[in-house]
Amino acid sequence: MDVKDQSRGQSLRSVRRRWLAQTGVAGLALLLNAVGCGDGRPTRVAVSGTVTIDGKPLTHGNIKFVPTGARPSAGKIDENGHFTLTCYDGDDGVVLGKHRVAVSASKILSESKIQWFAPKKYADFRASGLEYDITEPNDDLRIELTWDGGKPFVE
């Protein structure tokens, strides 16, 4: 390769570098757009609903949906018993499939006292007895708990 070819090769490389630097962000955006909007995470569907206890809204607490082999989804229960689930970020729902469910509704009163607003068994998805199969989006899921003769208590 003579000096002329060598300098032309270097100028071609510098032209490419400048072009990549100038179009890098736009080129990356085009590439990402061409690849698609997928986030690389499992398919999720929007799920929200209401938790009741003995027919009345549970007025606070947390709910967690735990699938087998995938990331759980969780949400906060508001004063009307309403919840919206999120798996990764922003109300993105739950992965499809069967989920065991935990509902925890308690308030720490002191280092040694907790007030329970729903039976403790519901706070553990392995013991709650609550299971739901999520196959499509659902904005009206009803989670019905019962005291089964009990009532809120402090322990």
Q: Are residues 25 and 84 in the same domain?
A: no
Share of the chain above pLDDT 90, in %: 64
Domain of residue 131 covers: 44-154
Mean pLDDT score, 114-122:
94
Query: What CATH number should be reported for the domain holding residue 120?
Result: 2.60.40.10
Quickly tell me which residue has 């032209």 as its tokens: 15
Q: What is the pLDDT of residue 145?
A: 97
Q: Given this model, what pLDDT does residue 15 score? A: 54
Over range 71-94, report the average pLDDT. Answer: 94
- Are 48 and 77 members of one domain? yes
Q: Are residues 92 and 150 in the same domain?
A: yes
Regarding pTM above 0.75, the answer is no
Q: Average pLDDT of 95-119?
A: 95
